[in-house]
Amino acid sequence: MNDAFSTRAAKRWVDIAIIAVMVLLAIGMLLPFLWLFSMSFRPVADAYKLPPSFLPPSLDFANYWKVLSSRVPFLHIYANSLLVAVVVTVGQLVTCTLAAFAFARLNFRGRDTLFFILLVGLMFPAQVTILSIYLGYAQLGLINRPIGLALMYLTSSFGVFLIRQFMLSQPKALEEAALMDGAGYFKIFWRISLPQLRPALSALGIITFTQTWNYYFQARVLLGKEQSMTLPLAMDVLRGYMAQGNLSVVMAAMSMSVLPVVLLFLIAQKFVIEGITMSGIKN
């Protein structure tokens, strides 16, 4: 009896230690964001104050108004980023899911070779192909158009790989039964396979939206005019040459730019957690 009690007590202390470590790590991850929002409410003179104070002296929204009233068309640029991120995310969810279904469930000649070639594409960074894309876009008139940036990433080798691996972990019994009953592949995909992919689609959607929202190199090459810029480029303009811009104003702009990503994660995280609990079903 005493041994069982001591074992439970030791396990409880181990759980408490793990929770304490996780809390400390969470605080460490949240501190940069809290500091970002804190700096956005400070006057520029207080931004360089030493020693720094973590809490702002007051909630002054003047910096946010300066962002919206600056020469940089911030709201228009915000809309550009939303357009690019939404188009890319929806495009990858559609194309990657269809391709993953073909690689995971269909048997056709050259399937494994084609999938290997697709995975090889993961090895090449954007810098390798950006020149040919730029020359092609120049011929098509897509330079300085946000939709051109979105068209580059309507599909993704990583997305196909992620969805395919998740699909391979799901049971095939229902799909095989539907196939024997005469259902076509598209009906099987729409009615049976797709509902099981909600966790994987949530994860891919979060990853894709976040990456697209933060594209800098590609946007710097393809989008030169202020009216066509996305938010990462707008941060450069607000910061100014040699970082001579108002730091508090830049922090206010950054605070507004991270909100969609934070909201997306808060909304979709429950689907990801649900997917983790559901993924215990194996073939």
For residue 177, the model assigns a pLDDT of 79
Residues 68 and 134 in one domain: yes
Residues 70 and 36 in one domain: no
Phi-psi group of 243: left, alpha or beta (phi > 0 → left; psi -120 to 50 → alpha; rest → beta) = left
For the chain, what percentages of helix, strand and coil (3-state, to nearest 5) are there?
75, 0, 25
- Find out whether the peptide bond into 51 is cis, omega within 30 degrees of 0: yes
Banded model confidence at residue 82, pLDDT cuts 50, 70, 90:
very high
User: Which residue type, as a one-letter code, is found at position 208?
Assistant: T
Residues 70 and 192 in one domain: yes
What rounded mean pLDDT belongs to the chain?
82
* pLDDT-above-90 percentage for the chain: 11
Q: What is the pTM of this model?
A: 0.81
Give domain status of residue 51, yes or no.
Answer: no
Give domain status of residue 252, yes or no.
Answer: yes
Q: Nearest-CA neighbor of 90 among 185, 167, 156?
A: 156
Q: Nearest-CA neighbor of 174 among 105, 223, 232?
A: 105
Q: Nearest-CA neighbor of 153 among 121, 105, 112, 113?
A: 121
Q: How many domains does the chain have?
A: 2
What is the C-alpha to C-alpha distance for residues 110 and 114, in angstroms, rounded to an integer? 6
For residue 272, the model assigns a pLDDT of 61
Residues 171 and 206 in one domain: yes
132: its two tokens: 């040919």
Residues 100 and 155 in one domain: yes
Residues 17 and 125 in one domain: no
Cβ-contact 268, 204 below 8 angstroms: no
Cβ-contact 40, 218 below 8 angstroms: no
Give domain status of residue 48, yes or no.
Answer: no
Residues 116 and 176 in one domain: yes
Give domain status of residue 46, yes or no.
Answer: no
Residues 103 and 24 in one domain: no
**Range 123-140 average pLDDT:** 86
For residue 185, the model assigns a pLDDT of 79
Q: What are the pLDDT digits (tens) for 239-279?
A: 765 556 677 888 888 888 888 888 887 777 766 665 555 54
Give domain status of residue 97, yes or no.
Answer: yes
What is the C-alpha to C-alpha distance for residues 236 and 125, in angstroms, rounded to an integer? 23
Find the domain containing 26 and state its range.
2-40
Give domain status of residue 126, yes or no.
Answer: yes
Residues in Cβ contact with 62 at an 8 Å cutoff, skipping those fewer than 6 apart: 43
For residue 5, the model assigns a pLDDT of 57
Give domain status of residue 55, yes or no.
Answer: no
Residue 114 DSSP class: H
- Reported residue count of the chain is 283
CB neighbours of residue 3 within 10 Å: 7
Residues 31 and 165 in one domain: no
Residues 91 and 163 in one domain: yes
Give domain status of residue 259, yes or no.
Answer: yes
Q: Looking at residue 78, which CATH number applies to its domain?
A: 1.10.3720.10
Residues 260 and 158 in one domain: yes
Banded model confidence at residue 64, pLDDT cuts 50, 70, 90:
confident
Residues 30 and 73 in one domain: no
